[in-house]
Amino acid sequence: MFTASLLKGKVAIVTGGGTGLGLAIAKRMGELGADIAVGSRHSEHLEHGTADLRHAGLDPLAVQVDVRKPEQVDEMVGRVLRHFGHIDILINNAGGNFICRAEDLSPNGWNSVVGIVLNGSFYCSRAVGRHMIARGHGGSIVSILANYVWTGSAGTVHSAAAKAGVMSMTQTLAVEWAAHNIRVNAVAPGPIESPGAAQQLWSTPEAVRRITEAFR
């Protein structure tokens, strides 16, 4: 049984934390005692997400950030440090996805998803990892994967390739940063029923049926 003080004194950044899985992660970590910083590209997501967190009795720091831009990631980390003083946990949850056959995928579509998922996860991990190394207290970095990293899935070549890169990055950083007591892990939670994912990946009853049957 997890207690409300399990993460007391810890500071966590959750990217893509204004909606869906990221918001749920932020809320649960806050309930366990962590101080929460929520990052998102979209101001309306931040507004609604932080309102939800405050309604739950939490006091999050909201940071508008495009994780594809390393200078914005560095500024996010700087703001969190100025506000809370340190960072203990990073959740790389920011993502982008849409169904598109490989032969129809534009370079811009490819670069957009790879930029958010793979590049963004690295920029955030690097910025937070530098702080953790300099501070000398260790920490934890967790990235969100997808099951099709291992299986493949038609229409997700951009996301699958990016998430596979994140898995490899996770394994490499775990080896490199173990000496600094920084734990680097990744999890693939499976399909999550949230407005963003549902609209992009299973927007029809038939798609929902196929996914539901596959995970029974």
For the cut 80, the answer to whether the pLDDT of residue 3 exceeds it is no
Rounded to an integer, what distance in angstroms lies between the CA atom of residue 175 and that of residue 156? 29
To the nearest whole percent, how much of the chain has pLDDT over 70? 88
* Eight-class DSSP state of 81: H
Banded pLDDT at 216 (limits 50, 70, 90): low
With CA atoms as reference, report the closest residue to 128 among 175, 184, 55, 50: 184
Q: What pLDDT shows up at residue 214?
A: 47
Tell me how many degrees the CA angle 140-141-145 measures, rounded to the nearest 5. Answer: 140
Residues taking part in catalysis:
148
Quote the pTM value: 0.88
Residue 40: pLDDT above 90?
A: yes
Task: Return the CATH number of 11-214, one of 3.40.640.10, 3.30.930.10, 1.10.150.130, 3.40.50.720.
Answer: 3.40.50.720
SS3 28: helix
Q: pLDDT for 58-111, tens place per residue? A: 999 999 999 999 999 999 999 999 999 999 999 999 999 999 999 999 999 999
Task: Please report, for the chain, the start and end positions of each structural domain, with discontinuous segments joined by +.
Answer: 11-214
* Residue appearing with tokens 């869906």: 20
H helices, E strands: number in the chain: 9, 6
**pLDDT for the residue 211:** 44
What distance in Å separates the CA atoms of residue 116 and residue 149, rounded to the nearest whole number? 16
